[in-house]
Structure 1
Amino acid sequence: MPARSVTFTAPREVRVTESEVPTPDDGEVLVETAYSAISPGTELLIYRGEAPRELEADETIGALDGSLDYPLRYGYAAVGTVAAVGDAVDEAWLDRRVFAFHPHESHFCAPPTELHPVPDDCSTAAAALLPNVETAVNFVMDGRPMVGERVVVFGQGLVGLLTTAVLSSFPLAELVTVDSVAERRALSRAFGADESVAPEEIDDRFDPSGPSLDGDARGHTSDGADLTFELSGNPAALDAAVGVTGYDGRVVVGSWYGTKPVTLDLGGRFHRSRIRLQNSQVSTLDPSLRGRWDSDRRLDVSWDRLADFDAEGLLTHRVPVDEAERAYELLDSKSEASVGILFTYGGP
């Protein structure tokens, strides 16, 4: 069987191309992919043509060179088995299950330094969610929740649910999530949310008030959230996230809106609220953490968190890579049943 790769060729156009199975160089191994996970945020923007085409694909992942312009091979969550090794590579790598930040492709060559062995207690399919867990860990590290805080998470897609799971391990006063899909709200409660509500219900649940004008310190505490995460990918949700956050609260923006504009109402309560908006993105760590943290340490934490979750419960669809277009159509339709979508390659 030839090697197969997924390529975005134009908005809402996806092709699966074939080529010869590559031969590893002396310092490389050949990986035969079993699963690769679709990134539901970024890849939906690419599929719809809503990603900035001049932007670099990802400067931190060597396999993603070039920009987000078409034609484009993308993806960064491939799991498979080492099928061959180069002459300069230890044969102990043969048959090992490995994870790689690599595009959707049935066979690829890489040096062992770019591979991450899959722990024995992690299923091959679940390992494909490692980047999503790492993203969730990064969001929480940037948000820095404190004991007894009220936390709200907008968006309970794949990354939102994983973020909820990470947050649920903290001794919070309350963890409330927001999503328009009832099935995802049910999953959210299963992954640790105290309560999960529809978007139209959140304003009644959190009614923040501004600080008192006479300087009474008690006026600086309201019924609003202390910490809010916006992870829905919907630009309108950011305004709602700001709206439920209390005085001196923090809003972590993990969504990538691509080319979609964002409109915020900053002329009312926000003017005196001292609310802080912070961007969070997994490609980098907060500069204040870099003295003791690096990406390897964060990835180790992500493997540990992945072992704690029912990751298999988030994998709602497995689509043969030859039917890649169907997978993106499913993602684009925002099917209520879809959360995690894997490409399968006929491997173990």
Structure 2
Amino acid sequence: MSNPSLVLNKVDDISYENYESPKIDASNEVIVEVKKTGICGSDIHYYAHGKIGEFVLTKPMVLGHESAGVVVQVGDSVKSLKVGDKVAIEPGIPSRYSDAYKSGHYNLCPHMCFAATPNSKEGEPNPPGTLCKYYKSQEDFLFKLPDHVSLELGAMVEPLTVGVHAARLANLKFGEHVVVFGAGPVGLLTAAVARKFGAASVTVVDIFDNKLQMAKDIGAATHTFNSKSSKPFHEALPSGHQPDVVLECTGAEVCIQQGVLALKPSGRFVQVGNAGSNVLFPITEFATKELTLFGSFRYGYGDYSTSVSILDDNYKDGKENALIDFEALITHRFKWDDAIKAYDTVRAGSGAVKCIIDGPE
């Protein structure tokens, strides 16, 4: 069978290609027919610049890593899934032999095979992305979706899990006060996670009023603050509460600084967004408050299943009774034949929050 795929050849060059469909080689493998895929900011960065940090595009790469689909074939030892099941795809599989994997930090595995992430090693192919008709994964990196969770929502599990990982790193507790910097897709989903974890308040900070309004409209924020306003930041916080937790999703130096300054003593700070370069950091404030700083990279054990559980709980009583309107984040939908247009739309910054592409028919 042919496997239609969307391929990034080099900067500014995306094309449709047909490859051979993947085949099951091991008893724990599963073939998924991809139905829905979201566009991530990292995809756009590779499209525009050809690299992110040490990951440099040197050969063509199938795009996509935010996907959901339907199981079409399973290996002989697969027990938790069957043909016809809807699944969310966790797109990174570590080495089962690495110290990171064995110590419970598989997201830090130096041998991670992560979908649509360039492999610059000469003679080795790039890990395949998920923007194709058929994608092969391993049983324990596929997560069955409840009946009332759509495939579109399944494609949002990946970015939602970034927020889950950050909240779990912070050991976010019921009744705590949270500030989220950044109202892009990851920031909005991270704020939504904080709400679902039981935060007493979630204040979202950004410089665009329309993004802040969306944070409120979908139920992710209890409070918002436009950092361009002349209003002092502390006045935007509920009843003057200093945050227990800051989840920083921009990577902007000023936001990192403001987050440290805003935190209450013994508070926790999680860096989710990537900074473009080194930043000036208020180390004295950090030390005298006895703050705790966490770096956050992708997601680890239990994070994906937690995200699926969040969506399950959110929609179990119907969309009209959901705490968070996750579906409202999907602002653009494209058919497979318009996938390149979808990438250009997001790259142009034309107001897309989350863009979903249908899989090949």
Asked whether the two chains share a fold, i.e. TM above 0.5, the reply is yes
Between the two proteins, the alignment pairs up a number of residues equal to: 308
Structure 2 letter corresponding to 1:80 = G
Q: Which amino acid aligns with 2:13?
A: E
Shift of 1:161: 1.4
- Match of residue 213 from structure 1: none
Of 82, 107, 110, which aligns to 1:93? 82
CA distance in 1, matches of 2:326, 2:14: 27
Code of the residue aligned with 1:310 in structure 2: it is: D
> Deviation string for 1:36-73 (max 9, x for gaps)?
12223x32332332744634xxxxxxxxxxx7554333
Q: Deviations over 1:95-143 (max 9, x none)?
A: 3323323422222334544433222121111111112222211111112
Specify which of 253, 260, 271 is matched with residue 253 of structure 1: 271
Seen in structure 2, the aligned counterparts of structure 1 residues 8 and 269 have a Cα distance that, compared at 3 Å, is: same
**Aligned equivalents of 1:70, 1:181: Cα separation in 2:** 37
2:278 to 262, 274, 288: 262
Deviation at 1:89, TM superposition (A): 6.9
Report if the CA contact (8 A) 1:153-1:178 is conserved. Answer: yes
Identity of aligned residues (%): 24
Q: SS of the counterpart of 1:93?
A: coil
Query: Where do 5+ consecutive residues of structure 1 fail to align?
Result: 56-66, 209-221, 285-294
Q: Deviations over 1:147-183 (max 9, x none)?
A: 5543210012222112212212455453211122333
Structure 2 counterpart of 1:121: 148
- Please report the TM-score for the alignment, with normalisation by the length of structure 2: 0.72
Matching of residue 244 in structure 1 with residue 262 in structure 2? yes
Q: Write the mapping of 1:208-219 to structure 2, written as runs, cut at 5 A.
A: none
- Structure 1 pair 332–145 and aligned structure 2 pair: CA distance change class (3 A): same
Distance of 1:316 and 1:30 partners within structure 2:
29
- Residue 278, structure 1, aligned to residue 316, structure 2: no
Counting only pairs closer than 5 Å after superposition, residues 160-309 of structure 1 correspond to structure 2 as: 160-170=187-197, 172-189=199-216, 190-201=218-229, 204-206=232-234, 224-257=242-275, 260-266=276-282, 269=285, 272-284=288-300, 295=301, 297-307=302-312, 308=314, 309=324
Please report how far the alpha carbon of residue 313 of structure 1 lies from its aligned counterpart in structure 2 after TM superposition.
Answer: 1.6
Which protein shows a greater Rg? 1
Task: Give secondary structure in 2 for the equivalent of 1:122.
Answer: coil
| Aligned-residue offset at 1:280 | 1.4
Q: CA deviation at 1:203?
A: 6.6
SS of 2:149's equivalent in the other structure is coil
- After TM superposition, list the pairs within 5 Å mapping 1:3-152 onto structure 2: 3-25=3-25, 27=27, 28-40=29-41, 42-49=42-49, 51-52=51-52, 54-55=54-55, 69-84=58-73, 93-102=82-91, 103=129, 104-146=131-173, 148-152=175-179
Counterpart in the other structure of 2:325: 310
Q: Distance in 2 between matches of 1:184 and 1:195?
A: 13
For residue 273 of structure 1, report the CA deviation from its aligned partner.
4.1
Letter in 2 for 1:281: F
**Secondary structure, counterpart of 2:188 in structure 1:** helix
Is the CA contact 2:143–2:304 (under 8 Å) kept in the aligned structure 1?
Answer: no
Please say which of residues 137-146 and 67-76 is displaced more in the overlay.
67-76
